[in-house]
């Protein structure tokens, strides 16, 4: 599935701004440094020339060491699907969409009850995701809380593999043991370790702790994935005014310091390993003390980070299309548009955020189709206006002449679907026609689409022997936890 082509990126930073933020991050990594919780990471940095205080675990990193890491990192990352047609090529020229993940709650599709999520909810979200026009990567949207906590992350990956053939991204590996089991599951599906390295069908997100800290287990886990060739996203999320400066530029400097230090460790551990800059810089709403995931600042900072990431030659993974709204409707649409528009126009390589509400806590299956319609509209905006001989249409203008009609012209038929956005959920009919057809709301129309999607079988089912191999890995993890 091809991503959204960006013909004219909308820059939120000037070229000089990019340079100033980069230089500030390098300077402060040398002056202040970062706290590194992993002994392996500290040892690698010290051997490479960084100054390490073992008592405080603070590491001050020379700019030259960071620059070497930037030069060393993989410059082309393809998030492979089990089905090659579902590959997401993060070529820094296309935008890809991923649903939000790890929600603890779900709205029961039949009863409307808000409850803890289950493996069945996850399976349904994958089936619905398969039916979307603009969903390129799948993140397990909720976790299987009907399974023991010790094996949930493995069950979530198995359920995802069984119900979608898209690339699967996750953020639940927090120990090297987690990583090795998840890699074993991916190897079972890919066929071999080399096959997984050649076509990584999974990727892992690792969040730094703002401000300026890297958890030991988190980074040690990232090193294990890097060794296997699995792409890793270092996810930075300083909150403007809380865990980062209130100014957006200042928060971005903190995020850059966290990413560049994480990137440096990853490249020292596994030279050339694929690393993505992930970010979700959303302010705290000072009136409600809730994270404003659906704010315009969330999208702006993601677009800015994308420009920096591209200057480093790495792709970006940005939180967007988020909403703090509790239910689908006007507030959710406003927040998602505000946080998503600048990311698409800014060329973010992978935007994560569709399908969950309450700031990524609660799954609404209907919201996936509503969000997909919004992305389609923004996609049309991003495509812009093409000006060439065919699109200027001078021959057609001369043919129709004054007072004529263009509706029946071949030129109209040939270009209608590419020039005009044709909605699937938005109802443009008159009030009378809409009323005569049952006065359906957008949410009701989305529910109909959900039912259709749930009735379809999963694409490219896993062979029974592969499922048994996945079950064996999960059973081994269950036995260790007892």
Which residues share a beta bridge with 98? 137, 352
Where is 58: in which H helix or E strand?
Answer: strand 58-60
pLDDT (mean) for 309-317: 97
Q: What pLDDT is recorded for position 6?
A: 79
Q: Taking the C-alpha atoms of 337, 341, 344 and 345 in order, what is their torsion angle to the nearest 10 degrees?
A: 160
Q: What is the mean pLDDT of the chain?
A: 95
Tell me: the pLDDT tens digits for 85-143? 999 999 999 999 999 999 999 999 999 999 999 999 999 999 999 999 999 999 999 99
Tell me: the pLDDT tens digits for 151-186? 999 999 999 999 999 999 999 999 999 999 999 999
Tell me: the pLDDT tens digits for 322-340? 999 999 999 999 999 998 9
279 prior amide bond cis, ω within 30 = no
Write the burial class of residue 149 (CB in 10 Å: 0-12 exposed, 13-18 middle, 19+ buried).
exposed
Q: What does DSSP say about strands 51-53 and 58-60: parallel, antiparallel, or unpaired? A: antiparallel
pLDDT (mean) for 5-31: 92
Residues 142/469, Cβ–Cβ less than 8 Å: no
pLDDT (mean) for 246-260: 97
Q: What pLDDT is recorded for position 159?
A: 98
Provide the 3-class DSSP secondary structure of residue 329: coil
**Tokens at residue 17, please?**
């701004």
Q: What pLDDT is recorded for position 291?
A: 84
Q: What pLDDT is recorded for position 285?
A: 81
Q: Give which of 80, 26, 77, 63 is closest to 272, Cα–Cα.
A: 77
- How far is C-alpha 86 from the geometric centre of its chain's CA atoms? 15
Q: Using only C-alpha atoms, what is the Rg of the chain?
A: 23
What is the topology classification, in CATH, of domain 4-13+71-383?
A: TIM Barrel (3.20.20)
Residue spans of the domains in the chain: they are 4-13+71-383, 389-419
Q: What pLDDT is recorded for position 181?
A: 98
* pLDDT-based confidence at residue 1 (cuts at 50, 70, 90): low
pLDDT (mean) for 222-232: 98
Residues 364/125, Cβ–Cβ less than 8 Å: no
């Amino acid at each position: 599935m091809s991503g959204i082509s960006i013909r004219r990126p909308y820059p939120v930073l000037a070229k000089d701004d990019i340079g100033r933020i980069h230089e500030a991050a390098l300077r402060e990594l040398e002056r202040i440094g970062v706290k590194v919780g992993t002994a392996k990471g500290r040892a690698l940095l010290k051997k490479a020339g960084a100054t390490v205080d073992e008592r405080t675990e603070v590491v001050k990193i020379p700019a030259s060491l960071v620059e070497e890491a930037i030069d060393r990192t993989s410059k082309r990352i393809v998030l492979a699907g089990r089905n090659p047609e579902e590959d997401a090529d993060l070529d820094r020229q296309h935008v890809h969409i991923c649903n939000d993940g790890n929600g603890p709650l779900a709205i029961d599709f039949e009863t409307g009850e808000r409850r803890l999520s289950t493996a069945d909810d996850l399976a349904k979200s994958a089936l619905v995701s398969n039916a979307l026009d603009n969903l390129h990567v799948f993140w397990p949207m909720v976790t299987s809380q009907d399974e023991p906590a010790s094996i949930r992350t493995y069950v979530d990956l198995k359920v995802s593999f069984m119900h979608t053939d898209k690339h699967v991204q996750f953020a639940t590996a927090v120990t090297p043991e987690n990583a090795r089991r998840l890699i074993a599951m991916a190897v079972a599906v890919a066929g071999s370790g080399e096959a997984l390295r050649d076509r990584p069908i999974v990727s892992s997100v690792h969040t730094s702790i703002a401000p300026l800290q890297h958890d030991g287990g988190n980074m040690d886990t990232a090193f294990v994935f890097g060794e296997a060739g699995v792409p890793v996203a270092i996810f930075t999320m300083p909150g403007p005014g809380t865990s980062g400066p209130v100014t957006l530029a200042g928060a971005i400097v903190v995020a850059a310091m966290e990413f560049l230090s994480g990137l440096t460790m990853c490249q020292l551990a596994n030279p050339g390993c694929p690393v993505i800059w992930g970010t979700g810089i959303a302010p705290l709403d000072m009136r409600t003390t809730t994270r404003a995931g659906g704010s315009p600042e969330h999208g702006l900072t993601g677009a800015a980070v994308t420009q920096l990431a591209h200057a480093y030659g790495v792709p970006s993974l940005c939180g967007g299309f988020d909403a703090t709204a509790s239910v689908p409707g006007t507030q959710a649409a406003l927040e998602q548009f505000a946080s998503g528009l600048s990311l698409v126009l800014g060329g973010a390589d992978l935007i994560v955020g569709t399908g969950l509400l309450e700031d990524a806590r609660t799954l609404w299956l209907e919201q996936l189709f509503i969000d997909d319609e919004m992305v389609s509209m923004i996609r049309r905006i991003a495509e812009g206006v093409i000006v060439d001989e065919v699109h200027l249409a001078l021959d057609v203008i001369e043919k129709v002449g004054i007072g004529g009609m263009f509706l029946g012209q071949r030129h109209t038929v040939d270009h209608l679907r590419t020039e005009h956005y044709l909605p699937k959920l938005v109802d443009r009919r008159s009030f009378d026609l809409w009323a005569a057809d049952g006065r359906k709301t957008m949410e009701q129309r989305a529910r109909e689409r959900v039912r259709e999607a749930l009735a379809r079988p999963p694409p490219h089912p896993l062979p029974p022997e592969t499922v048994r191999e996945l079950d064996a890995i999960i059973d081994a993890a269950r036995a260790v936890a007892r």
